[in-house]
Structure 1
Amino acid sequence: MTSSSTIDPVLARPGRASRWFRSSDGRLTLWQLPNPALWVWLAALVLGRLDLSAAHATAVDGVRHGALIVWALDEVVRGSSPFRRVLGAVVLVAQVASLVTA
């Protein structure tokens, strides 16, 4: 009988798609509750939908981008699965590119 915290040898074979979505202990980690950086991003996203003055809109936009950059860096460094680390890297590149081209 296998424990739920061990990696199934069939899933651990290179080339298996599910390996990209599993943590080192074999848990599926595609979705997790948002961490604080994502809560800040969501709040800034909602605030950005309001009719704000130009100065406030710029500040909220900066907070929104900053929160996503913090989240992406966290995922690149501490992501629980290869998919989450790659997703963090993609979001980080997209955010830096949007700031450079702005």
Structure 2
Amino acid sequence: KNSQGQWIDVPFIKDSFVMNIGDMLHRWSNGLLISTPHRVKNCTGRERYSCPFFFEPNVNVNVSPLPCCINDHRPKQFESIDYGEFLRTELQTGYDRHAVHN
């Protein structure tokens, strides 16, 4: 979904992967890499392969924007937080902010 709330198609590129940016990479990159709602619609009528892979930091890791992503044009946008606290908050809110509507 783009910043205007419109779903966009990702073109097929042979021998490639599609990678969705998650909330931690969004935070570490100080908002440079965008975590967006995403979904897959299979309109081919054929089976497709999906191999979701989630890579998360240890719950004790302190997550803060990387220094290389902070400058005069992009001031620090996120406070530091332990990943465990962030995850706990996400789970308690039920991911309401991530709800996907057509």
TM-score range, shorter chain: under 0.3
Please state which structure has a larger fraction of its residues in helix.
1
Please tell me whether Structure 1 or Structure 2 has the larger radius of gyration of its CA atoms. Answer: 1
Normalised to the residue count of structure 1, the TM-score between the two structures is 0.23
Normalised to the residue count of structure 2, the TM-score between the two structures is 0.23
